Amino acid sequence: MEGLDMPPYPGTKGQDIFNHVSKKAWQEWMAHQTLLINEKRLNMMDMGTKVYLSEQMTKFLSGENVDQAEGYVPPAKS
């Protein structure tokens, strides 16, 4: 699978993601992260939110169960 073009974060965490995560998996995480931020109305200025999303990212990229946006209904395909 195609890898990322560059590390998504500085430091060892970003390098680890760059070395082990495909571009497709990263795009899937970014979509899920956006869903969590929007549906849970997370405040990105809150350090707790950043810690929460980092934990969710680690789980997601490791194939573990992650939180879902309760009540989210995807738009109907037309």
* For the chain, percent of residues with pLDDT exceeding 90: 85
> How would residue 57 be classed by pLDDT, with cut points 50, 70 and 90?
very high
Residue 11 located in a structural domain: no
Mean pLDDT of the region 18-27: 96
Contact 52, 42 (CB under 8 A): yes
Residue 1 located in a structural domain: no
Domain encompassing residue 57? 23-39+46-62
Contact 35, 72 (CB under 8 A): yes
> How many structural domains are present in the chain?
1
The tokens for 66 are: 């992650």
pLDDT of residue 72: 74
* For the chain, percent of residues with pLDDT exceeding 70: 99
| pTM for the structure as a whole | 0.86
Residue 28 located in a structural domain: yes
